[in-house]
A and B are shown apart, each in its own frame.
Chain A
């Protein structure tokens, strides 16, 4: 009964490749997020979707493209991977509202060689 799940857990790939990370939540939430955590543990939001609509799009290279086929899924596709993309990517979800807390997935550890 995992709440927020991500696949894969680990991703090792070469520079220049294209890869996708999938996220699913079974909490019935209508808002989902992608975060990037770098090697210094800084956690920054990348994107947020509410009811399949993009509502937050931080300054992220357009090589990163989120896709939300339905409220329970938010995938992240990355084109032309670069060394600096190496990080841990977290998916999260919440209900809509200023006082709602976010539920995080276990993370996807991406290493670009």
Chain B
């Protein structure tokens, strides 16, 4: 299967703490994206990092990419209860429009 894997599968933290999620993938990529899915909703794009980038920031989000290890991490700083959701990484290979999604991390932020 081409599907990427994320760990942990589930993460529970207290408000104000940082949350780190990891994503590993199998083939070379053009870019890697992170999406959030609130319960019962569609996915929302968070951030995109290109294969020639190593780190990217957006507000409280920090994404790193290590193409030699075929892995990425998403750090959410100073978490809030509203950050409770499932987080998915998705990779795009070559020039295709196809996104391959990871297995997701369920984040629960306790108030």
Chain A residues in the interface with B (C-beta under 8 A): 4, 31, 33, 40-45, 48, 50, 55-56, 90, 92, 94, 96, 98-99, 101-107
Smallest beta-carbon distance A18→chain B, Å: 25
Chain B residues in the interface with A (C-beta under 8 A): 3, 30-31, 33, 35, 37, 40-45, 48, 50, 86, 88, 92, 94-101, 103-104
A90 touches B97 (CB 8 A): no
Smallest beta-carbon distance B102→chain A, Å: 9
Given A41-B86, A45-B98: A4 touches B42 (CB 8 Å cut-off):
yes
Given A90-B42, A90-B43: A99 touches B99 (CB 8 Å cut-off):
no
State the majority secondary structure of interface residues on A: strand
Of B50, B97, B101, the contact of A44 (CB 8 Å cutoff): B101
Closest to A106 in B: B42
Give chain A residues whose Cβ lies under 8 Å from the Cβ of B45. 101-103
In the complex, the number of residue pairs spanning A and B with C-beta atoms less than 8 Å apart equals 61
State the majority secondary structure of interface residues on B: strand
Give chain B residues whose Cβ lies under 8 Å from the Cβ of A106. 41-42
Give chain A residues whose Cβ lies under 8 Å from the Cβ of B94. 98
Give chain B residues whose Cβ lies under 8 Å from the Cβ of A50. 97
B31 touches A56 (CB 8 A): no
A41 touches B103 (CB 8 A): yes
Given A98-B31, A101-B33: A45 touches B44 (CB 8 Å cut-off):
no
A42 touches B3 (CB 8 A): yes
Smallest beta-carbon distance A30→chain B, Å: 10
B42 touches A48 (CB 8 A): no
A94 touches B101 (CB 8 A): no
B96 touches A104 (CB 8 A): no
Of B3, B44, B97, the contact of A96 (CB 8 Å cutoff): B97
Give chain A residues whose Cβ lies under 8 Å from the Cβ of B40. 107
Give chain A residues whose Cβ lies under 8 Å from the Cβ of B92. 98
Give chain B residues whose Cβ lies under 8 Å from the Cβ of A40. 103
State in angstroms the CA–CA spacing of A103 and B43 once bound together. 7
Closest to A48 in B: B97
User: Which 3 pairs show the lowest CB-CB distances between chains A and B?
Assistant: A104-B42, A101-B45, A43-B101
